Amino acid sequence: METTLLTRITLNPNVGHGKPTIRNTRYLVEGLLEYLAAGDSIDEVLESFPDLEKEDLLACLQYA
């Protein structure tokens, strides 16, 4: 499962200024971790960003 989750993290110099993103989208891993660190639950983040999946946030946590 670990390897599968980490495949959701992408590095692309043309997306997110080359910072780690989720599935080559505009969602920066750093930004999503900030939401979680501020106390938002995974469900709250998913509610705010419906195009994300729970596994995306788990991948961020694992990456960190």
First to last CA, the chain: 16
- Distance separating alpha carbons of residues 14 and 46, to the nearest angstrom: 25
pTM for this predicted structure? 0.90
Q: What is the pLDDT of residue 2?
A: 60
What would the pLDDT profile of 18-47 be if each residue is shown by its tens digit? 999 999 999 999 999 999 999 999 999 999
